[in-house]
Structure 1
Amino acid sequence: MTDKKGKDAVDAAEYERVICQVKGVLSARLVTGPEGSIEEIHVLASPERNPKQVVRDIETAVLVQLGTPLDHKKISVAQLEEQGSQWPDVLKEPSGPHVVSCGRLRLRSLDFSFRGLHARVKIEVEIEKGGEARLYEGHASGTNWPGRGCFLVAHATLEAVGKHLGQNHALILEDLRQLEAAGSQAILVVVGLMSTACRERLAGVAFLDEAPDEFQATAKAVFRALACRFCLYRS
């Protein structure tokens, strides 16, 4: 790959968006270096396609849409174990043991920093379960472009919660929008919840006037999306 350290810092969220358009890709996560260059690309895929073909399609999609040639050696593909004869074509409601008890979520800290064109987010989420509380960190980085900060915060929040859920579940940011409702500005997020047994979409909304800034409102919206299914949220 032709990475130029510092000069060509990438927008991780934009790359992940493009990669997730590839057939069979369920989620993607970029790991960037100190100057924002791509170090690793981790992909979660469904089992019906050959991993090598998935990698080739990712290289083609990124080259065509973003103009960046990728080094296939930096792309790792993990495939979920197939359940039954085929991967489900529609979203399924989780039931029985597939409903996860996550605990209470609380935003402990949110640090948004930028240097030139590159922005970074570090977030700490406290998850309280069974009377015990643990902190989980989430990180995201990308281009310091107007409107992209909320996407980075959402990715970092989902990464933090995902560390608690473990490898059997994946959380994907499917959409994030700023909209007006009831005369107030609000943040809407749509989160994809994946496991080996089911997949579904969860939505959460937070108004800007109930948070200090749009970044904390974004984290609050993510928490509320997760609360729809398996978490208890507290402000």
Structure 2
Amino acid sequence: MIWASYEEAIKKIRSVIGTRIKGNESNEISEIHILANSERNPKQIVRDVESVLAAQFGIEIDHKIVSVVQLEQQEDEESPSPNFPLKRAQIRPKLISISLHTNKMMAEVKVELSMGDETYEGIASGTSTTYNRLRLFVDATINALSGSLMEKLFFATEDVMITRLGKYQVAQVIICLITPLGEQNLVGCALVKNDEREAIVKATLDAVNRKLWFY
């Protein structure tokens, strides 16, 4: 793996849990994705990445190619949430499009998200039952998010449903987040306005946004 030695060096930086480097056709670094805990300011982590690559490998990078995803600490842990005064604004995934294609008993869902200037597409397929189609929208959203994260961050869909609260319909999602720090169930919800599919995707993003911080 061409970037393995670089990734190993970056993983030794304090607060870094995992990293993934992507290159372009010229074998130059085009993207560096960092998964970190919330112990340090993401801006400091980016500076450390620049310093490590320059000192150990003689490589100068633009700090703009480094993205940091911070995993918020458990509520009972002493480490504070990452509420830092940042020049690089926190990024939240935004929904661009959703599509559903069915073929006999099978269904395929595509979800496209944007994060900053980047777009990510997630695809999920399975049997076309009413309940399983709901799960596919969650899975496709998770798969889209996985394009911007590291292999050390894993989501599993626990449950999804459309419920009624008074005169409103609400999409509810439970996701299990699995990292080297352990497992945690995340819950998200969104009002169903015109489209159940859109509400499920937004509920999934709501669950993720409660735990992860993107920079």
SS at match of 1:103: coil
Distance 1:118 1:98, change over 3 A: farther
TM-score (norm 1): 0.52
Contact 1:121 1:152 in 2 (8 A): yes
1:10-159 mapped onto 2 (5 Å cutoff) = 93=74, 103-128=91-116, 133-159=117-143
Give the deviation of 1:98 after TM superposition: 10
Structure 1 residues 97 and 156, CA gap change in structure 2 (3 angstroms): farther
**Structure with the greater alpha carbon radius of gyration:** 2
Using the alignment, how far apart are the partners of 1:98 and 1:159 within structure 2?
26
Identity of aligned residues (%): 25
Instruction: Output one character per residue of 1:126-178: Cα deviation in whole Å (capped at 9) or x when no partner.
Output: 112xxxx2111111111112232221010000011122111111111111122
5+ long unaligned stretches in structure 2: 1-72, 83-88
For 1:104 and 1:187, the matched residues in 2 are separated by 20
The aligned amino acid for 1:221 is: A
The equivalent residue for 1:228 is: 210
Supply the distance in 2 between the matched residues of 1:147 and 1:201 (Cα, whole angstroms). Answer: 20
- Look up the match of 1:69: none
Q: State the alpha-carbon separation in 2 of the partners of residues 138 and 97 from structure 1.
A: 32
Q: 1:120 to 1:179 in 2, by over 3 A?
A: same
Judging changes above 3 Å, is the alpha-carbon distance between structure 1 residues 102 and 117 closer, same or farther for their aligned structure 2 residues? Answer: farther
Q: Which amino acid aligns with 2:109?
A: V
Is 1:177 aligned to residue 161 of structure 2?
yes
Contact 1:98 1:197 in 2 (8 A): no
Does the 8 Å contact 1:102/1:165 carry over to 2?
no
For 1:200, which of 165, 178, 184 is the aligned residue? 184
Q: TM-score under structure 2 normalisation?
A: 0.56
Tell me if structure 1 keeps the 8 A contact 2:111–2:144.
yes
Structure 1 gaps of 5+ residues are 1-91
**Change beyond 3 A, Cα 1:139–1:102:** farther
Pairwise CA distance, 1:205: 0.7
| Aligned equivalents of 2:119, 2:91: Cα separation in 1 | 12
Distance (Å, rounded) in 2 between the aligned partners of 1:184 and 1:191: 23
- Quote the Cα distance in structure 1 between the aligned partners of 2:81 and 2:154: 13
* Number of residue pairs the alignment of both structures matches: 134
Structure 1 segments, 4+ long, off by >4 Å, are 94-99
Using the TM superposition, give the Cα deviation of residue 102 of structure 1 relative to its aligned residue in structure 2, in angstroms: 7.7
